[in-house]
Structure 1
Amino acid sequence: MAFILLSGSGDIMKQITVIGGDSRLKTAAEILKSDGFTVNFTDSYTEKEAQNSDVLLLPVPTTRDSKTVFAPLAKKEVLLSDIERLTKSGTLILTCNYMFEGKNCIDYGKDDAYCLLNAIPTAEGAIKLAIENTPFTLWGSRVLVIGCGRTGKILADRLKNIGCRVTVSARKQSDFAIISAAGCRCEYTADIPKNLNYDIIFNTVDVKVIPDDAFKECTASLIIDLSSKGGFDVSAAQGCGITAIKAPGLPGKTAPETAGKILAKTVKEIIESKT
């Protein structure tokens, strides 16, 4: 079942069809409507909807199985193949970590500003998980943040500000300089398996950095994986008595309103750059 969100003035600037997603996508749709767009939020994608769409907004992530649109709140599936088949050539398709080859498609998941802003609710959600899953304060804890990307930097900053003893792993000397300037310790990512003497570990990278046998010497009581693909085997960590949590997509779970605002801002900027 679809419903139309009309702009307050009744003027149609752009017809945006929104498919799938969680509550953050609903928030984004409502904000776009208030900004003057006409938004069709739907859990189906028919030829009629395809013909009436100037912009097709897909969720974060666009898919988790490479076959269907990620839509945990929908009553039925929308196939990626249907989107590819039905979408007209002029329609702008906005995706996250997925591309429709040969289509007018932009992956907003690669937008630097979006990723940086999205790292804020990710960091806050990760800290929330850590507080809920440890019997001690984060203050004074020895914490390792694996990765010095956008999420890693913001998470390390937030952890340091609440009194954690933070180590950040990286590969480049330029990142080591940034880490040191922020008052954190540095560690080569390749050397992580040699020293897992921490209370809490957060992973932010999408490659396996902790081999299964390294958990036998790990002192951490909690490991949280924020990456989409995984930086370690959760079951291997749990087998060594460690609480291990796979936690992708935290913004949509812990701060959907803020995450929706960030997404709407990004979508509006992309559309305006194309008009």
Structure 2
Amino acid sequence: MLTDMHVVIIGGDARQLEIIRKLSQLDAKVSLVGFDQLDDGFAGAKKQSLQTLDPLTVDAVVLPVSGMNSKGEVESIFSGEPVKLTSEWLTRTNKTTTVYSGISTESLRALLDKSNRPFTEVFSRDDVAIYNSIPTAEGTIMMVIQHTDTTIHSSDIIVLGFGRVGMTTARTLSSLGANVKVAALGTELLARAFEMGMKPVSLTELKEHAGQADVIINTIPANVLTAEIIGKMQPHALIVDLASKPGGTDFRFAEKRGIKALLAPGLPGIVAPKTAGRIFANVLGSLLTEQWEKRKGGAS
């Protein structure tokens, strides 16, 4: 339980609602910043602003999955304007006050460098990434169905990358009857793709296979779908780029060639915000419990 632990949740989207519910169940004292337009009432949660909060009472700060934008603001769909979290405010908290965020952005890292507070990037954890690969794969299927005029069954699909997201996506598409090729660099990844019944392709040979693809799905956050590769693709082909912004696709050249290319990071929060929120909330609840027990143990 998180009894007496003061957690400040700043901004975000519908996923934050599941976090609020989870922390309320764990008996934490929850302050909501950037939620002035939220209608739902949560027991134990109170809407506030950073100006009305006493930083010395705060044990943890929870930011959205997206962290902070390039302006150093925390965006919120529950507020008319973003929240400005400053290093001045954060340095007034206790030195043990921990910041949690889905991902780490450049502006967030700069803030943490100035304030020198503990930080946990939740989405860097393997368990979170694997759980999130499930709604990501489902969202990818939705996008492929929406933007093609053929069935997934019997389609020729190439999945770039065979990590946590790539593996789940490729396996799901294969189970729907697609002819799936997996393009990766590591020989162990290609061996795993072969073992799972998919055709392994070295990423260095992608140009030789791109012309047969109906759909190419990228999960690699690097420039892999270059103009040279896209130039080999069929006009009807679809690109779905799941990598974090700016993705790994030459979108300008794809548009010039008339090939539909979609950048789709953060699919879990779009297609299944409740599930994605529960994933974040369950892991965050465990992390906060661990932090709180360590602090209480140190105090005793």
Q: TM-score, normalised by structure 1?
A: 0.90
Please report how far the alpha carbon of residue 227 of structure 1 lies from its aligned counterpart in structure 2 after TM superposition: 0.8
The answer to whether residue 24 in structure 2 is matched with residue 24 in structure 1 is no
RMSD of aligned Cα (Å)? 2.0
Please report how far the alpha carbon of residue 273 of structure 1 lies from its aligned counterpart in structure 2 after TM superposition: 2.3
Check conservation: 1:192, 1:209, Cα contact below 8 A.
no
Post-superposition CA distance 1:122-173 (Å, at most 9, x none): 1111111111111111111001111111000000111011111111111111
Q: 1:143 aligns with which of 154, 157, 167?
A: 157
Q: Judging changes above 3 Å, is the alpha-carbon distance between structure 1 residues 200 and 184 closer, same or farther for their aligned structure 2 residues?
A: same
The corresponding residue for 2:205 is 191
The corresponding residue for 1:203 is 218
Q: In 1, Cα distance between the equivalents of 2:79 and 2:7?
A: 18
Larger displacement relative to structure 2 (108-117 or 208-217): 208-217
The answer to whether residue 107 in structure 2 is matched with residue 93 in structure 1 is no
The corresponding residue for 1:130 is 144
Amino acid at match of 1:29: I
The answer to whether residue 276 in structure 2 is matched with residue 265 in structure 1 is no
Check conservation: 2:206, 2:229, Cα contact below 8 A.
no
Taking the TM superposition and a 5 Å limit, the aligned residue runs for 1:145-160 are: 145-160=159-174
Equivalent pairs counted in the alignment come to 266
Amino acid at match of 2:86: S
Taking the TM superposition and a 5 Å limit, the aligned residue runs for 1:1-275 are: 12-43=3-34, 44-46=49-51, 48-65=53-70, 67-82=72-87, 84-98=90-104, 99=109, 100-101=112-113, 102-196=116-210, 197-219=212-234, 221-229=237-245, 230-274=247-291, 275=293
Amino acid at match of 1:16: V
Larger displacement relative to structure 2 (187-196 or 125-134): 187-196
Please report how far the alpha carbon of residue 239 of structure 1 lies from its aligned counterpart in structure 2 after TM superposition: 1.6
Amino acid at match of 2:130: L
Over the matched positions of the two proteins, sequence identity in percent amounts to: 28
Q: In 2, Cα distance between the equivalents of 1:194 and 1:85?
A: 54
Please report how far the alpha carbon of residue 222 of structure 1 lies from its aligned counterpart in structure 2 after TM superposition: 1.0
The corresponding residue for 2:297 is none
Check conservation: 1:21, 1:60, Cα contact below 8 A.
yes
Structure 2 counterpart SS, 1:217 = coil
Amino acid at match of 1:264: A
Q: In 1, Cα distance between the equivalents of 2:97 and 2:213?
A: 50
Check conservation: 2:207, 2:228, Cα contact below 8 A.
no
Unaligned residue ranges in structure 2 (runs of 5+): 35-48, 294-300
